[in-house]
Structures are given as C-alpha cells and as structure tokens.
Amino acid sequence: MSGPLAGVMVLDLTRVLSGPYCTMMLADLGARVIKVEPPGGDDSRHFPPRTGGDSAYFMAFNRGKESIALDLTAPADRAIFERLLTTADVMVENFRPGVLDKLGYGPAVLAERWPTLILASLSGFGQTGPDRGRMAYDLLIQAMGGVMSLTGEEGGGPARVGTSLVDIGSGMFLWPGILAALVERRGGAPARRVEVAMLDSQVAMLEHAMMRAQAGDPPQRLGARFPTASPVDAYRTADGALVLACPMPRHFAAAAAVLGHPEWVDDPRFVDNAARLANQAALKAAIEAVMRERTTAHWDAAFAAAGVPCGPVRNMADLLADPQLTAREMLLPMAGFRVAGNPMKLSGLAAPDAASAPTLDQHRAALLAEFGA
C-alpha cells in the first residue's frame, strides 16, 4: 500500500456504516485494513441497491479492505484472530459496550496480551454513563441528540436529516483519534484506547443551537432559513430553487441591485439585519416575486457575477453530473454506480479505487498463509 499510513495494520471488526466509514478513511490513506466479519458477513452486505450479486451500499464504504470471516466464539477461529492481533497496530470495533468482554477480548485483556495494540471503539452512547448499554441507530441519535428538533419546515413536526449524519460524523471523529494515538505510540508512549459515542458526536455538531437555547432563544425549525441573518434561505425560481446567503450588508445591497430593487437597502423593513430578520416573510415574498420570473440558471449566474453567495438547490441527478465533482475525483466509478471519493486530497496520493471492496472471506487463504494460522 502507498500513502502516509503505509505499514499500519488495522483490524476492522465494525459493521454497517459508522465504523466502516472510519476504517475506509484509514485505508484511503494507505493503512492495511483487514475486515474481520462474522460468518454471515457485515449486515450491510444485504442492503440494497445491488450491483450484480453485491450490495452497492457495502461496497461504497469498504473499499481498499481485505476480508476474512471468523466466528469469535469458535476456538479455531479465535486462534486465527489472535495471530492477527499479534501483528495489528489498531483494532476498531463498534459493538455495544460489554460485548468485547463477553468474547474475551475486553480492554484489560487486550492491554495485557497485546500492549502495543490501539483499541478504537465506537458506540451509540459511549463506554461510560447510565445509557452505555442502550442500542442506537442514526435516527435514534438524531432524535435524542436534538437535531430533529431543529430540522424541518417552520411549524412542522420532527424531521430526519436526509443523510446518516451521525453515523458519518462519528466515524469522522474516530479516525483522527486513532491517528493521534498512533503518533503518540510511535514516540514511545503506551497504546491508548480511543472511543467515540454517536450521541457525543451529534452534540458536538449542534453548532450555536446550544448557546442560543441557554441564552433564552430556543432554536426552532426554520426550513432552509438561517436563524441569525437574512436573507439566507432557499428562494423559488421559475424552474426550481436557489439559495441566497447574504449575511453582510454588501451582499444584500448587491442582491437587491441584481433583483432590480436597489431601493430595498433604504426600506425601513430591510435597512439592517435586525429589520430583515423581523420582516423576513415580507422580504422572502418580495424576492420570490422577482425570482419566479426567470430560471435558476439565470439567477445563479447573475448573483454569482455580482459577488452574492448563491447556489442552486440540486437533486442527486444534478449532483452526479457536476463537472466540479468530477474534476475533484469525488465521483468514483464502481460497477454500475458512482460513489463518493475521499474529500482529503494529499499531494501525490492517487484517488482510491472504488471497486476494491472485498467479497466475504475473500482473503482467507492468503491471510492464513501469511500469518501461519
């Protein structure tokens, strides 16, 4: 493997999304990631959509890994697993707290038998606290972590963010912790345990909502509207919608000129940000009355040329046709699909091979031969 993590060996006991996303990032950076799956495979191998006989969902988050299927309750497979542990630098798992102990590979056992091994754990609520044993899925954490109280149309009910925000976010928090532990261990320090909770990750991404709630201004669902600046919203056009982001007076002045209403900057209702927030419904109606006369493409070009931050509201088909993403190697081909590339761009490091996800137990013979198990 090439890349800055070449020579690092990771045992990946994770499944579905949060953990596999974390270990995929490590593989993209050159780590050798051996996916240790139960005999039936990672649950996500059975998720739609499919390409041929394989799950495109699984393939999208497990590129660059090797696979071996092991039953960690069977003595023969445990012996194989322990040979892998002897060589590994990192073990990543996303079992519920306590499962590793039941398998006989709890933190104390690992620290005693394999003292240089970094144990990285991802769970719903963390390894400590009264909720540590609760089951968790992305949607549950979006609900319990407060984000569903912020998401949706104004006056509407709870809404899920349209992607698995918590799964991806917690995986993104875990792998930098692993890198930090690796750097520290190479300096001679003992191996650490790294752990991330999905709930903690969601709370860390709440931005200013927590402060506003404590300042007596509890945030509410606002649709696409931003709570502290106006106009910052999605506005309907003749054929779709365009987001305008005008947090600064110069942005609003430029937008008003593009819309043919430079007098808005002196209108008492819109004269400053506080006034625009107080009259945001009237301002949105005035903006949309003009923008509905022309297409999204027209307004996008006009506002961009005037220095107004803007962007069209695109669907997935639009996104997959974006030349900017193609130029950035963010749309990688994979057996009839295109999947997201790695947003980290390191000079000299090639884009990952999106079609390199392993079949179940694909590397068993090679790994047994290599590790003498």
DSSP string, 301-358: HHHHHTT--EEE---HHHHHT-HHHHHTT-EEEETTEEEE--S---TTPPPP-TT-PP
Task: Write the single-letter amino acid at 347.
Answer: S
Split at pLDDT 50, 70, 90, the class of 335 is confident
pLDDT at 162 over 80: yes
Q: Is the pLDDT of residue 53 over 90?
A: no
* Mean pLDDT of the residues in the chain: 95
Q: How far apart are CA 262 and CA 212, in angstroms?
A: 33
Which residue in 75, 175, 161 sits closest to 122, CA to CA? 175
Q: Would you give the DSSP letter of residue 246?
A: -
Active-site residue, from 12, 28, 77, 167? 167
**Which pLDDT score, from 0 to 100, does residue 52 have?**
83
Higher pLDDT: 22 or 189? It is 22
Q: Confidence class of residue 324 from pLDDT cuts 50, 70 and 90?
A: very high
Report the percentage of the chain scoring pLDDT > 70. 99
pLDDT at residue number 15: 96
Residue 61 backbone zone (phi > 0: left; psi -120 to 50: alpha; other: beta):
alpha
pLDDT at position 164:
95
d(CA 24, CA 167): 13
Tokens of 371: 């590790």
CA 273 to chain centre: 33
pLDDT at 51: 85
Q: Is the pLDDT confidence value at 5 over 90?
A: yes
Q: What whole-number distance in Å separates Cα of residue 12 and Cα of residue 92? A: 5
Enter the DSSP assignment of 270: T
Q: What is the pLDDT of residue 372?
A: 81
Q: What is the pLDDT of residues 178-202, one digit of tens each?
A: 999 999 999 888 899 999 999 999 9
When pLDDT is cut at 50, 70 and 90, the band that residue 217 belongs to is: confident
Band of residue 96 on the pLDDT scale cut at 50, 70, 90: very high
User: The dihedral of CA 343, 199, 20, 174: what is its sign?
Assistant: positive
pLDDT band at 208 (very low <50, low <70, confident <90, very high): confident
SS3 category, 92: strand
Let me know if 217 is a catalytic residue: no
Cα angle 207, 212, 203 (rounded to 5 degrees) comes to 35
pLDDT digits (tens, 9 = 90+) for 286-318: 999 999 999 999 999 999 999 999 999 999 999
Q: What type of residue is 328?
A: R
Q: Are 65 and 92 in contact (CB under 8 A)?
A: no
- The per-residue pLDDT for 336 is 85
Q: How would residue 1 be classed by pLDDT, with cut points 50, 70 and 90?
A: low
| Domains of the chain with bracketed CATH | 9-206+328-371 (3.40.50.10540), 232-236+241-312 (3.30.1540.10)
Tell me: the pLDDT tens digits for 116-137? 999 999 999 999 999 999 999 9
For residue 142, give the H/E element and its range. helix 138-144
pLDDT digits (tens, 9 = 90+) for 249-261: 999 999 999 999 9
